[in-house]
Amino acid sequence: MAIRELADLTWEEVRDADRARTVAVLPVGAMEAHGPHLPLGTDVLIAVEMARAGAARLGERGLAAMLLPPLAFTAAPFGARFTGTLSVAPSTVTALLVDLARELARHRFAALALANAHLDPVHLAAVAAAAARAHEEHLVPVIAPDVSRKPWVLRLTEEFRSGACHAGRYEGSIVLATRPDLVRDAIRTDLPPNPVSLSTAIREGARSFEEAGGLRAYFGWPADATPEEGRATIETLGEILADAVLDELEPESAA
């Protein structure tokens, strides 16, 4: 089944779609520093790939998906001190997502699924607040699997599970697999590992990459990234998104 993108369709084509069996999929990323070797839009690139892979999996399992244009601006305070990071208020993110859920409910879509590749804790809290408000207002379900938590995290790579995974092997591999032209490879291959666990630093109170030990805005093993790992990770992210949607909409079939 071909993946449809809302922005490419006419209003009549959307009108005639079986929207009650269609999940709107929103890629969510950030404009944020990703070391000296990856682009500011890394999270957006990853989110788009996750969304496309998830949409394909949903199609294979009987649910249509329609891709929305990516959300590229969100709360990103951890990287705010690095030039080029554009962080917006978390309340703005929550309000936008709730407004979008209202519109999708008005158009009678089945759900709003977020292919989220940005893991700043302030952003994750804003997404969770939007999902809660959508539920309270009886809008479409807002389904946003947090890949940093169980059960989803157990499916991802060893570096990701370690928490030392911002602009390291995990993210670098996905960018190498999809947009190798955007990777500053001469820099990447010379970067020393930074094995500091960002997730542990957050739990211990760090509120920025610098406080966590990422003075160049990267954590992990960027020199070890490979396109092969990136392609495999994209497939896993798509499966996570599809499984989260089916767990919410069709729990019996998902089981």
Q: Write out pLDDT tens, residues 237-255.
A: 999 999 999 999 987 655 4
Task: State whether residue 147 is helix, strand or coil.
Answer: coil
Q: Which domains does the chain have, with CATH numbers?
A: 4-254 (3.40.50.10310)
* Whole-number Å distance between alpha carbons of 174 and 159: 13
Q: Write out pLDDT tens, residues 34-85.
A: 999 999 999 999 999 999 999 999 999 999 999 999 999 999 999 999 999 9
High-pLDDT (> 90) share of the chain, %: 96
Q: Write out pLDDT tens, residues 104-125.
A: 999 999 999 999 999 999 999 9
* Whole-number Å distance between alpha carbons of 170 and 162: 11
**CA distances (Å), 21 to each of 71, 82, 189, 234, 253, in order?**
23, 42, 45, 24, 15
Looking at residue 156, the DSSP 8-state letter turns out to be S
Predicted model pTM: 0.96
How many CB atoms sit inside 10 A of residue 85's CB? 19
pLDDT at 2 over 80: no
> What's the chain's average pLDDT?
96
In the chain, the amino acid numbered 179 is R
